[in-house]
Amino acid sequence: MSLKLRKLIVPAAMAFAFASNAHAADDAVQMGAVLSLTGANATVGEDVRRAVALAVEKVNAQGGVMGKKFDVIVEDSGGNATTALNAARKLATVDKVPVVIGEYSSGITLPMAQYLVKEGVTHINIASTSVKVRDLGATSFNLIGLENLGNKFSAADAWALGYRNVALIAPNNAYGQGVAHGFREEFEKLGGKVATELLYTAGQSTYRRELQQASRSNPDAYIYTAYGQESAVLNREAFELGLRQKPWYAILLSMSLSDTPANIANGQLGMEVGSVQGANGKAYIDAFQAKYGQAPKTSYTGYAYDAVMLTAAAINKAKSTQPAAVQAALKDVGKNFAGVTGPISFDADRQRIDPPYAKLKYDGKVVPR
């Protein structure tokens, strides 16, 4: 082939490929997701990404959305608020998706969701528990129990387990501060005492000094919450320091133990946002197991799955991908939606009514108590 002919053919082929891809995108109905696929929460993020992919398969097996193929554009936040915001901006302005789900950490979700709300794009919260989620605005929906409910549940559970004088350990961010304040308030109402409250700085290679400081109050038990990889360091060092001779109770157990080896995690108790429920939940777990060869590692996968299925149902009902139309349909679909995490109904502020919680333990894996 002559050089001149090659110069003519290659650009033409590239233009054809671009046109084909653009046409394929036009033929698909898309939504977006921002997940922590790298960074400290990568284990949870990958678990959730798998759930999203499973939901997409289910929707397409049922005929897609508005007669077209359905897809979720997944962007990686890297566990960073700026990266998450840039990802949301790309989804809203370049991909022009009507709905974005995510993120995971409240400190990342809040600024990302605030941007989406400002742009009129629908946001669905699937994992963040800060009470500030409730105030995000009229285009944000929430599927998960927030800290006010979670703190009340965990404090009552810890009290029922016989803990009276505890050390509390949490990350020094929006999520951890909310847990520390809320748990103390609820636990003290019951007559308990938080002898030591330790808010740690994330990203450290060791937390020995902080753990030794917490142990000086000689607590009945350690109440803690931490993200996967940081929690693995905390748990290993607590084990090495002999602090596991006292009970350890994790707020959001599957998150806190997602990267901790089983021999160190075994015996821990905790609570969690409720995972799957009923026949729909069992079918979801069976499908996840069949596709990936293992059950979900965290409770958040069911919420992501439900968010994708809700979105597909809302777009089908609206017969439109215009955000305002999808939001109106979400309110209608969300009156008694049969999710894998149980029945989903939204209140007037687009918050889930009666979100589920569970009492758990770690026995080789996270299991019900």
141 by Cβ neighbours in 10 Å (0-12 / 13-18 / 19+) ranks as: buried
pLDDT more than 70, % of the chain: 93
Report the side by side order of strands in the sheet with 165-171: 193-200, 165-171, 221-224, 248-251, 269-273, 357-362, 366-368
Record the tokens describing residue 118, joined without a space: 């400002």
pLDDT for the residue numbered 11: 45
Asked whether residue 4 carries a pLDDT value surpassing 50, the answer given is no
Helix (H, G, I), strand (E, B) or coil at 26: helix
Residue 10 pLDDT class (50, 70, 90 cuts): very low
Residue 274 pLDDT class (50, 70, 90 cuts): confident
Asked whether residue 13 carries a pLDDT value surpassing 50, the answer given is no
Partners of 358 in beta bridges: 272
Model pLDDT for residues 27-51, shown as the tens digit of each residue: 899 999 999 999 888 999 999 999 9
Residue 104 pLDDT class (50, 70, 90 cuts): confident
pLDDT for the residue numbered 284: 97
Model pLDDT for residues 319-328, shown as the tens digit of each residue: 999 999 999 9
Confirm if 368 and 360 have CB atoms less than 8 A apart: yes
Model pLDDT for residues 213-256, shown as the tens digit of each residue: 999 999 999 999 998 889 999 999 999 999 999 999 999 998 89
- Residue 236 identity: R
Residues 6+ apart with CB under 8 A from 229: 40, 41, 42, 43, 259
pLDDT for the residue numbered 26: 61
Asked whether residue 54 carries a pLDDT value surpassing 80, the answer given is yes
pTM equals: 0.81
Asked whether residue 7 carries a pLDDT value surpassing 90, the answer given is no
Q: What is the average per-residue pLDDT within 261-278?
A: 93
pLDDT more than 90, % of the chain: 83
Model pLDDT for residues 128-181, shown as the tens digit of each residue: 999 999 999 999 999 999 999 999 999 999 999 999 999 999 999 888 999 999
Helix (H, G, I), strand (E, B) or coil at 16: helix
pLDDT for the residue numbered 275: 81
Mean of the per-residue pLDDT values of the chain:
92
pLDDT for the residue numbered 113: 98
pLDDT for the residue numbered 254: 87
Asked whether residue 6 carries a pLDDT value surpassing 80, the answer given is no
pLDDT for the residue numbered 207: 96
**Helices within the chain (DSSP H only):** 3-26, 42-61, 81-93, 106-118, 147-160, 174-189, 208-215, 228-240, 253-257, 262-265, 278-292, 300-318, 323-333
Residue listed under structure tokens 């290993």:
236
Model pLDDT for residues 74-102, shown as the tens digit of each residue: 999 999 999 999 999 999 999 999 999 99
66 by Cβ neighbours in 10 Å (0-12 / 13-18 / 19+) ranks as: middle
Query: Which carries the bigger pLDDT value, residue 229 or residue 312?
Result: 312
Confirm if 68 and 28 have CB atoms less than 8 A apart: yes
Pairing, β 122-125 against β 357-362: unpaired
Model pLDDT for residues 176-226, shown as the tens digit of each residue: 999 999 999 999 999 999 999 999 998 899 999 999 999 999 999 999 999
Q: What is the DSSP string of 161-216?
A: TT--EEEEEEESSHHHHHHHHHHHHHHHHTT-EEEEEEEEPTT-S--HHHHHHHHT
